[in-house]
Structure 1
Amino acid sequence: MAVAWKPVAVGAIVFLAWLFARAWWTVRTFDPDRPARSAAIFDVQGRLIGSVGAPRSAFVPLDRIPRALVEAVLATEDTRFYQHPGIDPVGIARALLANVRARGVVQGGSTITQQLARTLFLTTERTLVRKLDEAAIALMLERRFSKDRILELYLNRVYFGEGATGVGAAAFTYFGKLPSQLSLGESAMLAGLIRAPSALSPYRDMDASLRRRRVVLARMVEVGYLSPAQAEAAASEPVHLAGVRGGIAPWYIDYLAPILERQFGFNLVQRGGLRVHTGFDLRMQEAAIRALGRRQGAIVAIDPRSGDVKAMVGGRDYLESQFNRATEARRQPGSAFKPFVYAVALEQGWQLNSIVQDVPRDFDGYRPHNYRDRYWGPVTLKHALVMSLNVGSVWLASQVGVDRALALASALGITTLTPDDRNLAATLGGLRVGVSPLEMAQAYAAFANGGLSYPVRPFVRVVDEDGYVWYDQPSPQGRRVLSPQVAYLLTDALRDALQRGTGQVARLDRPAAGKTGTTDRLVSAWFVGYTPDLVAAVYVGNDDGTPVGGTGGVLAAPIWKAFMEGALRGRPSQDFPVPDGVVTGIDVDIFSGRRAGGLCRWVERDAFVAGTEPSGWSLCVIGIQPAGKGARPQEPFAGSEAPLTAPAEPGGGAGAPLPSEGGEPSGR
């Protein structure tokens, strides 16, 4: 047995020798006086959008950092900093015991020196080799630098959130002060951010930040830095945030930063001087900011041919709220979800002139309603989508299968669907979790792009200061989700929605298509639409769930129109290319689905897969009685969305309310 262990022991010795040799070389060649370089973010025209990482700000010497901040950091991050050699077996044991008692990870065992090693040289991945690297580098840092120098480097390199690296940037970002001007309460708040800077930022969650401040102050009392009275006074200090944040695309920078860090590592992004080239367009961003104005909500636009993010506005005022509604909000989409049902029907062989039954009915206890209880009876599939008929759409979902519609939505990029969504209420956007504007834009992009779906592409090329290329993807590869014919037929219907349906207010002077969405009690309003070269999702909604006072056609559609006109100004108009095997321009009677005769009043112009065009003609005899409750409209009206009630859930009461369409008049 002893002989069998010899190769293992020799291998372990060789590995550890190599590990420490690498750590020695890493620390030896490290220049602590070389300033960290933030990652510069450029738009599609090479214009600077902003930066991610350490600002090019002055290094703050340890003697200019208030003692209260130093002690707050030591109390919470490494109370035995001045006693251990870089790693702390006592601290590791204490953290292990605390975690066992709490039955979860509540305390870490890393020293300040280990954290500095990780920040300067390593990634945040949790592997044994990385932890060994961290420990070896920490020991070498302690051999080269004094304790005060290590603490100084740490306080100038640690990340405090909101793009602030180091105490100088943090003091200015949060309080608009120099570090030397910080109060005890402010120092404790900053120290508390180190553990989880994004989750604990007072800009994002003031209550969480205040609770964490109390924890830091209590810890300072425990180790003898403060008296209980001093801690209580500091905990009662009012917080006055400086609001030093923003820029023209702050939500996009916030969205981009964690993606870069996951792919290239925190240290390289925060300090490596990367140059990140994107498909973002600052001119389009300006148009999005103007279009949204003072409405609370979001606009996100992408290029359907590449997945490039072109513009992103996550709210009306970044200084007021940094919550990115374009990417983080999960809201009910209302009737903006209906196109997924209609796309499935077209994939199954239904045509735009196929007849849909818009008649009041009970779907196993689920009773959707149209706007103002007005029903059209049997109408074409295209007319049901153009007018956003709730009952007709639910009937169609019952025929083609709501599971198939959910599967298509998922394939198009919607990631938040759950098993609870497997009911007909999903047709009208009654989803358990909701969707984000970014994912809705990505899903609609396949309609604009002939059925090809591209993953959202946050950036195109990444190089460092030495010219080394870390990432380059000039030609992304699309994935076919819909046939070109189906994508075109659906677009043909959604174009008509802008001409005579619920989206008339969004009509442009160029080919465009789109769909409105409104939820119960007018809580959320949507418009998702596209041209061949740009797709944009507009969401309007208050964070507290209070009504916005209008529908998708009234609120979101005008914002979408204003954005698209500004974003596409100066660009040549493009039409949607007609794929092989499709014929266009056939007049159809909406009630029979046949070719429209001379007496027909209700006519739509449809596209067809070649060979499926209607052969018969409709006489359109006047005086046909309408089906269902209420009279058939005598004049075209846009918008038939109405509140819906979910079917009974297993073990629950029937008719549980779900957010959905709240009714969308034309907006005229």
Structure 2
Amino acid sequence: MTILKRALQFFITCTILSLLTLLSLYYYVKSDIPSVNVLKEVQLQTPMQVFTKDGKLINQFGEKRRIPVKIEDIPQPLIDAILATEDNRFYEHFGIDPIGIVRSFIVLVSTGEKKQGASTITMQLARNFFLTREKAYIRKVKEIFIALHIEQLLSKDEILALYLNKIELGNRAFGIGAAAQVYYGKELNELTLPQMAMIAGLPKAPSALNPIRNATRAKARRNVVLGRMYKEKYIDRSSYEKAKNAPITAQRHGAEIELYAPYISEMVRAYMVERYGTDKAYNSGFRVFTSVESDIQAAAQQALVNNLHKYDMRHGYRGPEKTLWQFESETPWTEQAILAHLKSVKEIAPLHAAVVTSISEQSATVLAKSGAYHTIKWAGLSWARAFISQTRQGLPPKTANDILVPGMQIWLRQHQNEWQLSQYPTLSSALVSLDPQDGRIKALVGGYSFTQSQYNRATQAKRQVGSNIKPFIYSAAMESDYSLATIINDAPINHWDKSQRYAWRPRNSPDVYSGPIRIRRALAQSKNVVSVRLLQGVGLHQSADHLLKFGFQDEDINRSESLALGSAAMTPLEMARGMSTFANGGHLIDPYFISEIQDAYGNTLGSAQPLIACDEEQLEMNAHTCAPQVISEQNAFLVSSAMHSAIWGGGSWRHKTGWTGTGWRAQNLKRRDLSGKTGTTNESIDTWFSGFNHNVLTTVWVGFDDASKPLGRVSYNNNLGKNQLVGAESGAISAQPAWIEFMRTALNNQPLAPIEPPPGLISVRIDLKTGLLSHKNDHTSRFEYFEPGTVPTKYVLDKGASTPFDDPLPIQDELF
């Protein structure tokens, strides 16, 4: 009894001393123990992902790769692998594992070294969130107390989910969701047992044990995990043996970018940083769905790239990037030396670096950076006459030796499944396509290559718009009681400017004049002097003020008569927004590029609520959802109708009165629902094409970033045959081909969507020559639309019909 009594006293004393020690330790470290309440609303550092409207990943921003997963979405074998390896009694202990602590203590006493830890998953979670990995006794004490707090605050499943999403697993992968993607390019539920075991083995030493850096050590660690799973009866013998002998299949996988669209994703990044701040934007796991459609965006990027290469090719070949050895005078480089050199060459898609190794009469063999040999056939070489200047090209080559010799480092581009000699385009371009009914940006491209230049020309480049301004000038005229049948004198202007003491002589381009001409045809054929006369007739300031209705900035509008010829400067996005007004019945929409923002778990945080172009019924029912109407529906239709003639022309070709508009090449799309307008500035420095139907509006700009550099002109290349673009560069030659290529995809399988005439217009038959009313029903007349009050009041005479300019004091000419 005495022995038992003393033993009991000793036990009680030890217990009290232990409790006092723990209490003392707690108060000693209490001030350093952070509050674990933050775990209830923890924000894991998860990168922001940017998607197309239809859900394809186009970019990812953030330093850490993390794909948060819910506990119910984690495969059970992966949970088993983690528990078997890291904390098999996780669901049984209260945050610390006494058995593990005793085992660790015995190892320490017997060896004198801290070879074995006793950290539970909860303790690891405490360390990962609040402490360092330093092996110190005081850190372990803090770890224990924090773990106890965590167990009181969270359920076991919540703790495990946080741990599996937080843990570092190498190669910038944090959490098991990211590890599955980084090492295997898979979702968690697609992983095999060996792959799950591999991931489960990484927490011990993510850098040293990851299968990309050290496959041998990674395999050994994986098999340890499999052995633990077998011992704990999570898997049977057969599964263990099969998985243990499986090969290492891990490879480095980046984010699964399905469509690289850097200009639109950079717009998203800038917006999110401005709205949420850098840290929150990059690390909160936002999922941002843009407004662009993947197939339409891809078509826009391809059309822009193709168009710039076509311009570059017709202006001539500027020569190789460099010459590695002199043909016939120096020893050719070995294949190994060539590849070593090409390894340092930075490629910009879609161009590939290569070196010419041999030449045949009309072909060349090259060694590409990839290590593959390619043959460039004559079809891929024959374009390459020498570049002399923007206005001059050399003679067409006759053999491959006229272009290349062995030793030249060149660029290749694959076109229509054939290799083609290429070069970096020196030209720039931008394309914006949107839904004119609500402003949704369907596609946006800001340049040839984001890698080459992050300058977004679609939203940042204010360039002179040239004749793209004319629809807005004509809209001002329609508002001032002109009509599409009004006759204006298309004749040279010689205007003396007293203040500047010089004569201003605006000219048509080309320098051809038609005399008296209807406004419809003048806009369709982009008559410069008619645009000037209309601006003079309406009034300079009244016309400029009218332009402000379309969302343009006053500081960008040059209030001089040159405004009629496009001296105003606007971005392609601003131009697309303004043009949309003619496609949607006169409403000024606000373009938007973000459709929805979600948090890391897919919960919607916000979505676009655009104002739409309403009809009268919608306006009466939901006026607050309608975009402001800045011009009348009738005005918008009349201008769009004239722009329709810019593509389809008019008159009768059978009776030799047919004529074409400047946008006639768009007839290749074989759609009668399209309206459009070319734009070219002086010396072809800026070129434009804007065109639309009811549902899609697209603006293309082409020019050099150096706003003083003209696009030049092109001579005929005998090697290329028919259908060449030759002569001076212009909106129709430089910009419209990209518009046509893009719209071919954007409108594919889409029903016709013409701009329908609104109520309130009057349609009467007019004489094509005079614009007066006509009784005839033949090629000399057509039906024309008028706003009330602008309909002609006189009929043309059957014989000897006169125009207003035959009168002694012409009514319209009084304005000038």
**TM over 0.5, yes or no?**
yes
User: Which AA in structure 1 matches 2:756?
Assistant: P
C-alpha change, 1:414 and 1:475, in structure 2 (3 Å) is closer
Structure 1 residue 573: Cα displacement:
1.3
Counterpart for residue 455 of structure 1: 590
Residue 515 (structure 2) pairs with residue 377 (structure 1) = yes
Structure 1 residue 607: Cα displacement:
1.6
What is the alpha-carbon distance in structure 2 between the residues aligned to residue 168 and residue 602 of structure 1? 74
For residue 544 of structure 1, the aligned residue among 706, 712, 727 is 706
Aligned residue runs from structure 1 range 531-570, under 5 A: 531-545=693-707, 546-548=709-711, 549=713, 550-570=729-749
Residue 655 (structure 2) pairs with residue 506 (structure 1) = no
What is the alpha-carbon distance in structure 2 between the residues aligned to residue 399 and residue 335 of structure 1? 18
C-alpha change, 1:600 and 1:570, in structure 2 (3 Å) is closer
Counterpart for residue 121 of structure 1: none
**TM-score normalized by structure 2?**
0.48
Structure 1 residue 542: Cα displacement:
1.9
Q: Is contact 1:492–1:606 with CA below 8 Å preserved after alignment? A: no
Q: Is contact 1:297–1:538 with CA below 8 Å preserved after alignment? A: yes
User: Which AA in structure 1 matches 2:758?
Assistant: P
Residue 406 (structure 2) pairs with residue 397 (structure 1) = no
C-alpha change, 1:404 and 1:282, in structure 2 (3 Å) is farther
State the superposition RMSD in angstroms.
3.6
Q: Is contact 1:39–1:272 with CA below 8 Å preserved after alignment? A: yes
Structure 1 residue 316: Cα displacement:
2.0
Counterpart for residue 472 of structure 1: 607
Residue 269 (structure 2) pairs with residue 269 (structure 1) = no
Aligned residue runs from structure 1 range 111-190, under 5 A: none
Counterpart for residue 566 of structure 2: 429
Structure 1 residue 615: Cα displacement:
4.3
C-alpha change, 1:612 and 1:406, in structure 2 (3 Å) is closer
C-alpha change, 1:573 and 1:625, in structure 2 (3 Å) is closer
Structure 1 residue 377: Cα displacement:
2.5
What is the alpha-carbon distance in structure 1 between the residues aligned to residue 631 and residue 682 of structure 2? 31
Counterpart for residue 109 of structure 1: none
User: Which AA in structure 1 matches 2:770?
Assistant: S
Counterpart for residue 110 of structure 2: none
Structure 1 residue 346: Cα displacement:
1.1
C-alpha change, 1:555 and 1:42, in structure 2 (3 Å) is same
Structure 1 residue 420: Cα displacement:
6.9
C-alpha change, 1:372 and 1:404, in structure 2 (3 Å) is same
For residue 317 of structure 1, the aligned residue among 421, 430, 449 is 449
Structure 1 residue 340: Cα displacement:
1.0
Counterpart for residue 196 of structure 1: none
Q: Secondary structure at the match of 2:272?
A: helix
Q: Secondary structure at the match of 2:457?
A: coil
Counterpart for residue 588 of structure 1: 766
Structure 1 residue 430: Cα displacement:
1.3
Structure 1 residue 565: Cα displacement:
1.4
C-alpha change, 1:25 and 1:370, in structure 2 (3 Å) is farther
Counterpart for residue 251 of structure 1: 263
User: Which AA in structure 1 matches 2:485?
Assistant: N
Q: Is contact 2:46–2:600 with CA below 8 Å preserved after alignment? A: no
Structure 1 residue 373: Cα displacement:
3.1
Counterpart for residue 300 of structure 1: 432
Counterpart for residue 459 of structure 2: 327
C-alpha change, 1:564 and 1:621, in structure 2 (3 Å) is farther
User: Which AA in structure 2 matches 1:426?
Assistant: L
Structure 1 residue 524: Cα displacement:
1.8
Deviates more, 1:612-621 or 1:455-464: 612-621
Structure 1 residue 569: Cα displacement:
0.5
Q: Secondary structure at the match of 1:452?
A: coil
For residue 517 of structure 1, the aligned residue among 679, 697, 700 is 679
C-alpha change, 1:36 and 1:597, in structure 2 (3 Å) is same
What is the alpha-carbon distance in structure 2 between the residues aligned to residue 503 and residue 621 of structure 1? 34
Describe the superposition over 1:102-131 as per-residue Cα deviations: whole angstroms up to 9, x where unpaired. xxxxxxxxxxxxxxxxxxxxxxxxxxxxxx
What is the alpha-carbon distance in structure 2 between the residues aligned to residue 622 and residue 291 of structure 1? 51
User: Which AA in structure 1 matches 2:507?
Assistant: H
Structure 1 residue 406: Cα displacement:
2.8
Q: Is contact 2:57–2:259 with CA below 8 Å preserved after alignment? A: no
User: Which AA in structure 2 matches 1:566?
Assistant: T
Q: Is contact 1:599–1:621 with CA below 8 Å preserved after alignment? A: no
Aligned residue runs from structure 1 range 14-25, under 5 A: none
What is the alpha-carbon distance in structure 2 between the residues aligned to residue 53 and residue 29 of structure 1? 22
Counterpart for residue 487 of structure 1: 636
Counterpart for residue 573 of structure 1: 752
Q: Is contact 1:600–1:620 with CA below 8 Å preserved after alignment? A: no
Counterpart for residue 297 of structure 2: 285
C-alpha change, 1:414 and 1:30, in structure 2 (3 Å) is farther
Residue 791 (structure 2) pairs with residue 613 (structure 1) = yes
What is the alpha-carbon distance in structure 2 between the residues aligned to residue 620 and residue 326 of structure 1? 53
Deviates more, 1:318-327 or 1:335-344: 318-327
Q: Secondary structure at the match of 1:276?
A: strand
User: Which AA in structure 2 matches 1:328?
Assistant: Q
Describe the superposition over 1:544-581 as per-residue Cα deviations: whole angstroms up to 9, x where unpaired. 34333411112212221221111110111112122111
For residue 411 of structure 1, the aligned residue among 549, 560, 572 is 549
For residue 60 of structure 2, the aligned residue among 10, 31, 51 is 51
Deviates more, 1:510-519 or 1:36-45: 36-45
User: Which AA in structure 1 matches 2:589?
Assistant: Y
Q: Is contact 2:582–2:636 with CA below 8 Å preserved after alignment? A: yes
User: Which AA in structure 1 matches 2:471?
Assistant: P
Q: Is contact 1:246–1:319 with CA below 8 Å preserved after alignment? A: no
Q: Is contact 1:251–1:322 with CA below 8 Å preserved after alignment? A: yes
Q: Secondary structure at the match of 1:373?
A: coil
Counterpart for residue 194 of structure 1: none
C-alpha change, 1:246 and 1:621, in structure 2 (3 Å) is farther
**TM-score normalized by structure 1?**
0.58
Q: Is contact 1:304–1:532 with CA below 8 Å preserved after alignment? A: yes
User: Which AA in structure 1 matches 2:54?
Assistant: Q
Residue 51 (structure 2) pairs with residue 42 (structure 1) = yes
User: Which AA in structure 1 matches 2:759?
Assistant: D
- The count of aligned residue pairs is 425
C-alpha change, 1:620 and 1:447, in structure 2 (3 Å) is farther
Counterpart for residue 496 of structure 1: 645
What is the alpha-carbon distance in structure 1 between the residues aligned to residue 556 and residue 740 of structure 2? 35
C-alpha change, 1:397 and 1:590, in structure 2 (3 Å) is farther
What is the alpha-carbon distance in structure 2 between the residues aligned to residue 322 and residue 518 of structure 1? 25
What is the alpha-carbon distance in structure 1 between the residues aligned to residue 765 and residue 804 of structure 2? 22
Structure 1 residue 282: Cα displacement:
1.1
Identity %: 31
